[in-house]
């Protein structure tokens, strides 16, 4: 059972499990074939788990968007902390195994790379909530697996669903914009993260353990400014309206570099990580807004990125 299957990562996880008997849930966003469930409701969770009797529960529920931290902090906290606690409690009670998704933002970005056992020290509300969620999961379901992931990208339903597609909007709009060129992100494709989730879920069913916490991340790091310039270069768009700045770093609540040490999982998975420079073009193309059609600007879409 995949909780949060209508979200960015959840959609990819559903596809990764498509050869199995899988039930996905959604609440604020629904889709055909998904069961409607409020992950902050113990009754909803117990009802669904009792009906499905899953072997594994994957918790992809969460609210990562900064505008929601400030706009509706109580709801954001509920999605990140209370949902994790209730899912862990119900999963243990029904005898299933739990895979819980967390974030690299549990670290302060001052001592990268971070091992799974590195001391956490979150700088912002999201990181603090996700760390509280990890503690709640571990208390309620001691044998759960926790997977920390960095910022994700992949096919989206609206531009603001990922930082990357929002950057594409800004590149295509050609209005003057200053983008942070200090804080480094490691954008990881949702399909790659979903493959890791599938492997970990299988390991849980087989009784394998790689440790209580696992890390997965892309290897290539970029600032927002660097990603925007890369998008412009790739599609032959002007980049003069994009200026480097340090807005995210100056705020003091964004880690400078939360690179995750992922040596344990690649050795176990035998998986080659995807390269951002070759994977991002199809994701951002629908969200570019140049003054003329992209096809007239982009002469050789399949050429290597500059």
Backbone angles phi, psi at 135, to 5 degrees: -65, -40
List the catalytic residue out of 105, 126, 153, 186.
Answer: 126
Question: In sequence order, what are the residues at sequence separation of 6 or more whose Cβ sits closer than 8 angstroms to the Cβ of residue 51?
Answer: none
- Give me the sign of the Cα torsion angle 237, 241, 244, 246: negative
Tell me which DSSP letter residue 105 carries: G
CA–CA separation, 252 and 256 (whole Å)? 9
> Around 277, how many Cα atoms within 13 Å sit in the side-chain half-sphere?
13
Question: Catalytic: 126?
Answer: yes
> What does 264-293 look like in DSSP terms, one character per residue?
HHHHHH-PPPPPHHHHHHHHHGGG---SS-
**Could you tell me which of 225, 133, 110, 96 has the C-alpha nearest to residue 170?**
225
Helix (H, G, I), strand (E, B) or coil at 243: strand
- Whole-number Å distance between alpha carbons of 288 and 167: 9
The angle subtended at Cα 215 by Cα 209 and Cα 218, nearest 5°, is: 140
Q: Where do we find the tokens 């990764």? A: 16
Helix (H) or strand (E) holding 3: strand 2-3
User: What backbone torsions phi and psi does residue 97 show, to the nearest 5 degrees?
Assistant: -105, 150
The catalytic site residues sit at 126
């Amino acid at each position: 059972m995949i909780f949060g299957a209508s979200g960015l990562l959840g959609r990819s996880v559903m596809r990764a499990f498509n050869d199995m008997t899988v039930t996905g849930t959604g609440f604020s966003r629904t889709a055909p074939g998904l069961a409607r469930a409020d992950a902050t409701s113990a009754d909803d969770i117990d009802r669904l788990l009792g009906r499905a009797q899953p072997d594994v529960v994957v918790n992809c529920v969460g609210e990562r968007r900064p505008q929601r931290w400030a706009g509706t902090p109580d709801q954001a906290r509920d999605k990140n902390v209370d949902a994790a606690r209730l899912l862990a409690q119900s999963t243990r009670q029904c005898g299933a195994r739990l895979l819980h998704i967390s974030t690299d933002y549990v670290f302060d970005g001052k001592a990268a790379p971070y091992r799974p056992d590195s001391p956490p020290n979150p700088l912002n509300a999201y990181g603090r909530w996700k760390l509280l969620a990890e503690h709640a999961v571990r208390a309620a379901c001691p044998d759960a697996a926790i997977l920390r992931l960095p910022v994700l990208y992949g096919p989206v339903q609206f531009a603001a669903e990922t930082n990357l597609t929002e950057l594409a909007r800004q590149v295509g709009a050609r209005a003057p914009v200053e983008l942070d060129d200090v804080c480094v992100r490691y954008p990881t494709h949702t399909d790659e993260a979903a493959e890791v989730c599938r492997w970990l879920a299988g390991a849980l069913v087989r009784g394998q353990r790689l440790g209580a916490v696992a890390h997965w991340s892309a290897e290539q790091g970029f600032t927002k400014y660097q990603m925007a310039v890369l998008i412009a270069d790739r599609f032959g768009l002007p980049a003069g309206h994009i200026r480097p700045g340090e807005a995210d770093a100056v705020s003091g609540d964004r880690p400078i570099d939360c690179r995750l040490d992922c040596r344990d999982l690649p050795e176990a998975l035998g998986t080659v990580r995807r390269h951002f420079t070759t994977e991002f073009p199809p994701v951002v193309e629908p969200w570019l807004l140049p003054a003329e059609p992209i096809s007239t600007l982009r002469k050789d879409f399949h050429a290597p990125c500059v």
